[in-house]
Structure 1
Amino acid sequence: MVSPKKWLSILSVNSLMLFNVSFPVLMLPNIVNGGEVIAQTNPNAEADKLLQQGLKLYKQGTAESLKGALTKWEEALLLFRKTGNLSREAYTLNNIGAVYNSLGEKQIALNYYQQALLLSQQAGNQGGEAITLNNIGNVYDSIGEKQIALNYYQEALPLRRQVEDKRGEADTLNNIGAVYNDLGEKQIALNYYQQALLLSQQVGDRAGEAITISNIGVVYDSLGEKQIALNYYQEALPILQEVGDKRGEADTLNNIGAVYNDLGEKQIALNYYQQALLLSQQVGDRAGEAITLNNIGGVYDSLGEKQTALNFYQKALPLRQQVGDKRGEATTLNNIGAVYNSLGEKQTALNFYQKALPLLQQVGDRAGEATTLNNIGLVYDSLGEKQTALNYYQKALPRLQQVGDRAGEATTLNNIGGVYDSLGEKQTALNYFQQALPLLQQVGNKGGEAGTFFNIASLKARQGKLTESLTFIEKSLEIIEDLRTKIVATDLRTSYFATVQDEYQFYINLLMQLHKQNPNEGYDSKALAASERSRARSLLDILAESGADIKTGVDPQLLAQEKQLLQKLNTLDQARQLNTPGYNPHELKQQIETLSNQLQQLEVKIKQNSPRYANLKYPEPLTASEIQKQVIDKETILLQYSLGEDRSYLWLVTPTEISSYELPPRVEIEELAKQFREEITSLSPVPETGNKLSEILLSPVANKLENKRILIVADGILQTIPFAALPLPQNLNQTNYQPLIVNHEIVTLPSASSIDILREQVKDRTLAPKKVAVIADPVFEDNDPRFQTISQPKKETENNDLTRMALKRSIEDFLGSSFNRLEGTRQEAEAILALVPDNLEQIFLDFDANRETAINPKLSEYQIVHLATHGLLNETQPELSGLVLSLYDKTGKGKPGFLQLNDIFNLEMPAELVVLSACKTGIGEEIRGEGLVSLTRGFMYAGAKRVVVSLWSVADNSTSKLMQNYYRKMLEMDKNPVEAMRETQLEMLSSENWKAPYYWAPFVVQGEWK
């Protein structure tokens, strides 16, 4: 059974902005009043003018404008000193201190404030004295000296009242409330905020009113009252917009984003954070920018996008250090540590946590300190040092309880429960989990709630209480399914789903254990349905989006922006792949990442702008009985695999039967599958490992296969092996190699449900009027002889030179900055077109085999689209995988030639068949819960009914021969694509030159077989 799920306290470190610095420092009595300059009797009008100019610069908030304000005020200071005007001198010192405080120079700021305080006291200026005391308190507050800050605020408060400065009094009340909030005294904080709010409303200070309303929201947020907090933030936001306070607006947007993040609404959270980031950057608010970068990183982290999260954290860290925000610096150090911990780099994680801890202790941030203690405990927990882990968790828990951080408390209770569970103290563990659950429900933390249900389910299963366990895991999955639907961006939805695959695997395993105990209760059918729910869900979603044509009715400007971004991304990635001179590889990588993020944000905007998307209902995966009725026919058998840590499973499905089988653990199957693939791709005529793999994967069902078509829904590494080349189960003990293809047609699918929705999309479609379009033999190099003359088809005789045969159409053929020419594809193309009447075919060769041709809507007029070229595989960024077309035009000028997955999603290609006669076109990034993100899904989204793809780097000559025979069977003999592929592969198996599976087995048919 799966071990308990534990959490880093990253859930509680997204920085909420408390508006505890209300900047009364710039309220210059008798000089500034509501933004209007009042006539002065002061003889030093030049100094007053400099004060006003500095004030305007300060309000701009950029680093440059702050330095400009500093210059103006330093000039004014010299003039005031000459006139002996102590009050004006004190105000100016206050303002200079404010600049240094904004720049993170806290000690220098304090020095200026202390000078200003002395002058105000000497001049008997109680209003100025109060302002300065408040500002000194702000500095101490920001460096974590809460009690010292409180002392200064409480000195300032009676002075504010004596001079009847109600606006200033409200500011100080606000700041006192913020200190009490930080100290965990939530009700006291609320009392001070309520007093401040009343005063701000009395004097019509809209900005102060908004700040206080937001601060009240922060208190309710920390108490877990998310909806109440949201109401306050949304009340404050329009006021801040009305008064033009962009910093305050950004801070409030951040806080709204944080609420949605805690509620599991990750996409909405991202939207708010991205609005906040733009505002902070506009006004040069580096502290606010750092907070938002940190928060965006937190969203990506929770969705499993660890590298993207790390990028955001690493952008935030130097900004936090520059502005002297020690608490924020510690927060980001904590989050970076969390990423490294999740990546298995435990010592690196510890190093970051140990840097964070003293910073948090310095600033007196008990909640942050507790978070770090929890995270350190988690590292030791994962290293097996359970008692050390428990000590850290138990140090963290009372601190979290003291400050009222219920989400953090629940996280730590869960982690303590996990330790006791692993130590065998089940009842103690259960008690901790049950304490955590209501806290998470109170604060609306749906992800944490799902995780706690999972922990309880796991514990119950280990106690042998399988039925009770089933209840809790189904509650967990219900929440997970709901959270998944709230993420709009497809890749983020996919990433999130990958993070919860342990829950689905546990559920499948639990159901199969129940099936053992109760074989007639249908638990194995329920497990098959669970397997369907756990796989390729994003593929189902995008096929539904394709059928709904969600871009119809979308703002044309958004679609134009998408097109522009795709072109930029394509150009930059081509420059990276081809090592184009003039581009810095590191800068290219960063630019590509930036563009990818912008595309993701734009995808969300397009969907949110789409009337059809708003009404789209995503399909539910099929149940076992629905698979029998809607997918399988009497000539087809489904074999569906699920690989698990302790055991794996196989389901056989026919229209009348569902049978299930337990297989060995994932690691054992993976090792054999890897060896099998390596033997095939090294040209072995008889892959010896195949017998062992077939024994595991096929022998359990050998007596039920008959001669029927086999539909394979594989899992993990099994998606990369050719089942057609596995030995027949009944021939395992024979010396002659007879692969599965001898008796069976083979079709592969990412899930059984995907064929059902694919059929739904194409069922009423009119057949395209023309037969075949072929794109082949592109121009890749600047020294290609076709720049002088277009060469005629080159006739070559077959030969047995394996070196020549193994010329591969893949990225492995890179030599410097070029791909080798594929002359065999020209023969292949012309042989195919010779089978079709001239008015029903079209061939694009040489310079015409280009990207513009591939994206031309006229390709939608053809039933079959054949692309013969190099494949481009990017296993870390699958959206950049694709096909390489002509890289030059006839004049020798370089041009975009990559047709990437992003481009393919924007094609209109309602073809009966798309053939990708290229390398590794069926391979992509393997994402847990989604499978291989390959080119297949792009062409299916574009409208293809079925796609032929390759599983490895294929040989030029053998592929040309295979494709010519394949088309002859389809076009002359009227065989369907699956039947034609089998017969073609059997002929090659029987030949002398091409019998090794390397030559005939890489190509598989995916999609509809009827």
Structure 2
Amino acid sequence: MEAGLAHGRRGGRLRSSHYIWCRDACLTLSLLVSLLLPGRSLPAAAAESGPASPLPAADGAASPEQLDAAAVAAFRLGTAAGWRQAITLWQALLQRLGPEADPSRLGLIHTLMGNAHSLLGEKPRAGERYRRALELHRAAGDRPGEAVVLSNLGQLASELGEMEQALELLEQSRSLHRQLQNRAGEATSLNNMAVVLEGMGERRRALALHRRVLAIRQQSADAAGEALSWNNIGAILDDLGDGAAARSAYGRSLELRRQRGDPLGEATVLSNLALLEKRLGRLAEAQALLERALVIQRQAGAPEGLAVSLANLAALHDDLGQPAQARALLEDSLAIRRRIGDRRGEAVLLSNLGLLQLQQGRPRQARSSFERALAIARDTAHPAAEAAALINRASLEETVGEFQAALESLRAAVAILRRIGDPLGEAVVSGNLGAVYESVGEGEQAELQLRRALAAYRELDSPSGIAVSRNNLGSLLNRRGRPEQALVPLRAAEAMHRASGDRDGLARALNNIGAAHVLAGRPEPARRAYRQALAIKRQLGDRRGEAVTLNNLGNLEAVGSTPRRGLEPLDAALALQRGVDDAEGMATTLLNRGRLHRRLGDHQAALSDLAESVRLIDGLRSRLADDDLRASFLASAHEHIDALIDLLMELHRLEPGAGHALRAYAVQEQSRARGLRDGLARQGDRPGREQRQRRRAIERELRALGPPSEVSAARRQALMDADLVLQQELHGLAGAAVPVPGSPVPSLEQARRLIERLRRELLQEGDVLLQYNLGPERSTLWVVDRDGLAVHALPPGPEISEQVQALRRSLLGLPDAALLSRLHALLIGPADLPADTRRLILVPDGALQVLPFAALEDPASGEPLLARFSLAHLPSVQAVLDRPASAPPDAGGDGRLPMLIVADPDLGAGRPHGELRAGPSRRNCSLAWQPLPGTGRELEAIAQVVSEADRVVARGAEATAARLLALDPARFPVLHFATHACVNARRPDFSGIVLAAERSPAGVADPAVDFLYLQEILDLELDSELVVLSACDTALGRQLEGEGPLSLSRAFMLAGARTVLSSLWSVDDRSTAALMAAFYRHWIDAGLPLDAALRQAQLELMRTPRWRAPYHWAAFHLHGRWR
């Protein structure tokens, strides 16, 4: 029912570099030209068609004065051709004057050439000219000229993203102007410093500087400058959400412009007033203001201003739900940018055009626009436009299901934004990262990123960003099943979007509010919200958003009293999604329509829809290069697989002999432990060791910080930020693409071949395999032995899970005998096991993966399952079938195994002994760890059955991570760890094995302990038959649907271990030592198979009075191959 709801959160992200609204900061260059040419009257800007009279050729016929005048005229054309002609003419003038000419005049020419190069996007060449000009002005002692060039260098640095350098250069310029008592120059430098601060997100500091500039200009009776300052003050006040103060400031600027007869300045203020009206939702007023600005700019022949106003009008028509007009206006603006040779402006507009194309459901054209924008931005050294194009391309990539590519684009963007000091852009990226992580099922990461974005927007006083973040957080809370909590930020976002006139944001908020009401069981408020959202989406021409809302409306009807009414909106949604290539949306709509067809009794239509839904989900999964992200994504979409399995089992009940149950088994097995299987397939090909080493250093420092009260917030935040960046790098490491399975619903013949292979390669006489699937409405048990396959229906998964968790709680004290019997009857009883069964091979699902099957009691005999059978656990059948066992190792010819034993690490002197092989808090690995005397006894017991020649031991102070890695664990068929373990379910990569810390030359270990972290375990590249994790909770971890716990046990399997002996809870030190001693005795001395040796050891403990309780003997189980 909820599948379609997740899509309501889409697009609530702030779109970077959308439409460019006019600001007066762009006037800095023309003001500088005026300063550099004292007493000269600059020609008015020529019409776009070109100059009225031909320019002189750059040859010996023209005088220096003619060349100078012609160059200025060419420059003022405002076109790329004019700027290039000006450069040619000024270069000729330099040659005519020669190096012995007045250095101030030469410096002026170099500065003007730098301006032209800058406008052409040739930033490095502009920098060369400015630096040469600076040398000449300083050589001439020309301090006014030096001040101007420093200001130009500052502006250039800001355009290149070097904000701190820009501020430093502008401050030098300001200081020189002040010394020269040049108040106008000082004001210009302060104005430009404010512009840089605004770009850095320091709006309030920028506002303070603009007010200083205003005071200087008012004292100097500089009406033009005062008008400029009022305009810039209004722009920042508008960004800060103070509409009334912004309107007042704009009004004062407009009054001054009109008094001075400055039509182009008037047009600039009108454009900014339009932005204010747009933000306040007064779209008709905004349109009228923009159209007035356009008339002025056309009459004045001002192509650059005209291009800006056309782009702003396009944004307005987009908000008015007129996408065709918006696109036409944007293309007109783009044509002007190209005609005047403004490639930087072209890059920005292409990015905007791509967003419009994406919204209109044209992803291929959008991709082309983004790629062209990216190429131009890089070619013209425009980092802000490059970052914007990357962010917008990531939105496209997420839309079409290319989640890995979206993460990589966002990572590239944030690197640029950090370099140029753009915190607002970083906030945009955090929000978008949160959306992508939500899409792939990484809820913790998503919430972390979204909360970072919200905090950043609040710090930056960005109302639009705050609204977007609240919307996204509400969506995430919906997905995590917390609708009442979700409604708090969603209603706040709705109010903010209404107040600002952001209709797109409003529609997204309404869609998510509808989803929350559905989850809370309130269909009528949900229907009202969805219908409002649908009307807005249709007005905006947002085909993808329309499809999302239609899907949600259809799903709402499908689960109501008149389900057939849901077909029409679901069909319409699917048609739109196919048109815009929205694979994730199609998968959700097909899931909802398949469920509806099943409810209506059309099983074949349901099977077709659900099969295609699973195929699409698997295709999206295969595009992710990171194993963990693939596993998280599949877990988040597991309801698609559950729905297909449940339908096949219903068909089995209707047609028992048709093979539907066999096909359901093949579907379930195909989806099991996909992350583990992907990782095993890529074994030996795990890139990123350098990043993981850096991660280890940061993890160690984070743990060494101690409690928050003992370290500065800034230091902790800096380390957490560095950790987050590295975590994103690790997720982005390139990996081999995983092929998409040929069919989401294996044919009957394919399913039969799988069962035949299972019987042939895994099962011996006396073996029975029990494979479980816990479904939301009903569960299934498949029983496979050497004779065939049987299938049994079980209660719903939530009901079974609740009983499992209750049993686990009881095992820590007196076990609940009734629960032990009830679960045996529920999970084992239906199998009706033959009398000659000796071994059970368990393939559990969900909560059953942490169930101690060995302790379940037969209701008839009262005996635990262990008394009759040996037990082995598999993550999936195919994970074992696809990795054959290696030849048995033989170190000395007598069948004994060479072992690496890491035990009894030195955890610090003078600490009390511990009784549990876990720390005080498994979520905080930085707390004190107690020594474990039982691990030493365990080592001594192993030594009695494994000769000294066949074992290598790292004990005490030598049991360090460095020593372990130096011994090369890949050389040993058997690894044994007897120590503490730290399991972090929220951050699995922070889990690890506790080891001794490296000591300083003085013999001091600081910190007291070290860890072999999960990522380092993955780097071990083992080829081991057995890894024994004689520690607490090593089979536990963050639970992923279909994958199982992200445990230390799983990490060792991914590293290459074929079998892992691990624990299901915090085990007792003494009983664990006894269990391990008995296990090795039965395995090595008696030569029993692994599962039989473990069974005998557990039976020994069970028969010992002090350790009779299952808590002592039932925690450990074998995972993987048992022979």
TM-score scaled to structure 2, two decimals? Answer: 0.80
Choose which of 972, 976, 980 in structure 2 pairs with 1:870: 980
Q: How does 1:363-442 map to 2 (within 5 A)?
A: 363-442=500-579
Q: How far 1:651 moved relative to its partner?
A: 0.5
2:413 equivalent in structure 1: 276
Q: How many residues align?
A: 967
1:356-392 residue CA offsets vs partner (Å, 9 max, x unmatched): 2222222222232222222222222222222232222
Choose which of 37, 40, 45 in structure 1 pairs with 2:38: 40
> Separation in 1 of the partners of 2:808 and 2:1115?
10
1:519 equivalent in structure 2: 656
Compared CA separation, residues 679 and 192, structure 1 to 2 (3 A): closer
Q: How does 1:844-883 map to 2 (within 5 A)?
A: 844-883=954-993
Compared CA separation, residues 438 and 826, structure 1 to 2 (3 A): same
2:876 equivalent in structure 1: 751
> Separation in 2 of the partners of 1:763 and 1:506?
38
1:254 equivalent in structure 2: 391
Choose which of 818, 821, 829 in structure 1 pairs with 2:928: 818
Q: How does 1:668-707 map to 2 (within 5 A)?
A: 668-682=799-813, 687-704=817-834, 706-707=836-837
Name stretches of at least 5 consecutive residues in structure 2 with no aligned partner.
41-143, 145-180
Q: Counterpart of 1:198 in structure 2: which amino acid? A: A
Q: Counterpart of 1:743 in structure 2: which amino acid? A: R
Preserved contact between residue 178 and residue 215 of structure 1 (Cα < 8 Å)? no
> Would you say 1:633 and 2:633 are equivalent positions?
no
> Separation in 1 of the partners of 2:183 and 2:656?
93
> Separation in 1 of the partners of 2:518 and 2:537?
19
Choose which of 666, 690, 693 in structure 2 pairs with 1:560: 690
Q: Counterpart of 1:664 in structure 2: which amino acid? A: P
Q: How far 1:624 moved relative to its partner?
A: 5.5
Q: Counterpart of 1:831 in structure 2: which amino acid? A: A
2:644 equivalent in structure 1: 507
Compared CA separation, residues 946 and 185, structure 1 to 2 (3 A): same
> Separation in 2 of the partners of 1:697 and 1:645?
16
What secondary structure does 1:31 align onto?
A: helix
Compared CA separation, residues 666 and 98, structure 1 to 2 (3 A): closer
> Would you say 1:663 and 2:794 are equivalent positions?
yes
2:685 equivalent in structure 1: 550
> Separation in 2 of the partners of 1:28 and 1:168?
11
Q: How far 1:437 moved relative to its partner?
A: 0.8
Q: How far 1:615 moved relative to its partner?
A: 8.9
> Would you say 1:780 and 2:888 are equivalent positions?
no
2:284 equivalent in structure 1: 147
Compared CA separation, residues 80 and 665, structure 1 to 2 (3 A): closer
Q: How does 1:143-222 map to 2 (within 5 A)?
A: 143-222=280-359
Choose which of 606, 613, 621 in structure 2 pairs with 1:476: 613
> Separation in 2 of the partners of 1:614 and 1:514?
34
> Separation in 2 of the partners of 1:483 and 1:175?
36
Q: Counterpart of 2:14 in structure 1: which amino acid? A: S
2:916 equivalent in structure 1: 808
Compared CA separation, residues 466 and 69, structure 1 to 2 (3 A): closer
Preserved contact between residue 377 and residue 386 of structure 2 (Cα < 8 Å)? yes
Q: Counterpart of 2:845 in structure 1: which amino acid? A: D
Compared CA separation, residues 854 and 29, structure 1 to 2 (3 A): closer
> Would you say 1:831 and 2:941 are equivalent positions?
yes
What secondary structure does 1:653 align onto?
A: strand
Preserved contact between residue 381 and residue 419 of structure 1 (Cα < 8 Å)? yes
1:913 equivalent in structure 2: 1026
Q: How far 1:262 moved relative to its partner?
A: 0.9
Name stretches of at least 5 consecutive residues in structure 1 with no aligned partner.
786-803
> Would you say 1:900 and 2:1013 are equivalent positions?
yes
1:308-360 residue CA offsets vs partner (Å, 9 max, x unmatched): 32332233235445655444332222222222333443333222222222222
Compared CA separation, residues 592 and 353, structure 1 to 2 (3 A): same
Preserved contact between residue 919 and residue 953 of structure 1 (Cα < 8 Å)? yes
Compared CA separation, residues 178 and 758, structure 1 to 2 (3 A): same
Preserved contact between residue 698 and residue 723 of structure 2 (Cα < 8 Å)? no
Q: How does 1:223-622 map to 2 (within 5 A)?
A: 223-321=360-458, 325-546=462-683, 549-551=684-686, 559-573=689-703, 582-583=710-711, 594=721, 597-607=724-734, 613=736
1:799 equivalent in structure 2: none
Compared CA separation, residues 436 and 618, structure 1 to 2 (3 A): closer
> Would you say 1:720 and 2:855 are equivalent positions?
no
2:77 equivalent in structure 1: none
1:407-427 residue CA offsets vs partner (Å, 9 max, x unmatched): 222222122222222223122
Q: Counterpart of 1:997 in structure 2: which amino acid? A: P
What secondary structure does 2:968 align onto?
A: helix
TM-score scaled to structure 1, two decimals? Answer: 0.89
> Separation in 1 of the partners of 2:253 and 2:802?
74
Compared CA separation, residues 881 and 604, structure 1 to 2 (3 A): closer
Compared CA separation, residues 777 and 745, structure 1 to 2 (3 A): same
Greater Cα shift, 942-951 or 302-311: 302-311
Q: How far 1:274 moved relative to its partner?
A: 2.6
> Separation in 2 of the partners of 1:107 and 1:836?
84
> Separation in 2 of the partners of 1:310 and 1:394?
28
Larger radius of gyration between Structure 1 and Structure 2: 2
Compared CA separation, residues 999 and 87, structure 1 to 2 (3 A): closer
Preserved contact between residue 240 and residue 463 of structure 2 (Cα < 8 Å)? no
What secondary structure does 1:329 align onto?
A: helix
Q: Counterpart of 2:973 in structure 1: which amino acid? A: Q
Q: Counterpart of 1:807 in structure 2: which amino acid? A: E
Compared CA separation, residues 834 and 221, structure 1 to 2 (3 A): same
2:1073 equivalent in structure 1: 960
Compared CA separation, residues 29 and 775, structure 1 to 2 (3 A): closer
Preserved contact between residue 713 and residue 750 of structure 1 (Cα < 8 Å)? yes
1:792 equivalent in structure 2: none
Q: How far 1:77 moved relative to its partner?
A: 4.9
Q: How far 1:267 moved relative to its partner?
A: 1.8
Q: How far 1:71 moved relative to its partner?
A: 7.0
What secondary structure does 2:883 align onto?
A: helix
> Separation in 1 of the partners of 2:502 and 2:890?
68
Q: How far 1:258 moved relative to its partner?
A: 0.7
Q: Counterpart of 1:927 in structure 2: which amino acid? A: L
> Would you say 1:709 and 2:834 are equivalent positions?
no
Preserved contact between residue 813 and residue 819 of structure 1 (Cα < 8 Å)? no
> Separation in 2 of the partners of 1:936 and 1:618?
27
2:860 equivalent in structure 1: 733
> Separation in 2 of the partners of 1:951 and 1:109?
63
Compared CA separation, residues 972 and 601, structure 1 to 2 (3 A): same
1:587-614 residue CA offsets vs partner (Å, 9 max, x unmatched): 8986786455334322244325xxxx36
> Separation in 1 of the partners of 2:726 and 2:742?
25
> Separation in 2 of the partners of 1:118 and 1:432?
54
Q: How far 1:754 moved relative to its partner?
A: 1.5
Residue identity (%):
30
CA RMSD of aligned residues (A): 3.3
Q: Counterpart of 1:439 in structure 2: which amino acid? A: L
2:1116 equivalent in structure 1: 1003
Greater Cα shift, 225-234 or 160-169: 160-169
> Separation in 1 of the partners of 2:843 and 2:718?
37
Q: How far 1:706 moved relative to its partner?
A: 2.1
Compared CA separation, residues 69 and 245, structure 1 to 2 (3 A): farther
Choose which of 1052, 1063, 1067 in structure 2 pairs with 1:939: 1052
1:936-995 residue CA offsets vs partner (Å, 9 max, x unmatched): 121112221211112222222222222122212233233332232222223333444444
Q: Counterpart of 1:657 in structure 2: which amino acid? A: G
Compared CA separation, residues 249 and 145, structure 1 to 2 (3 A): farther
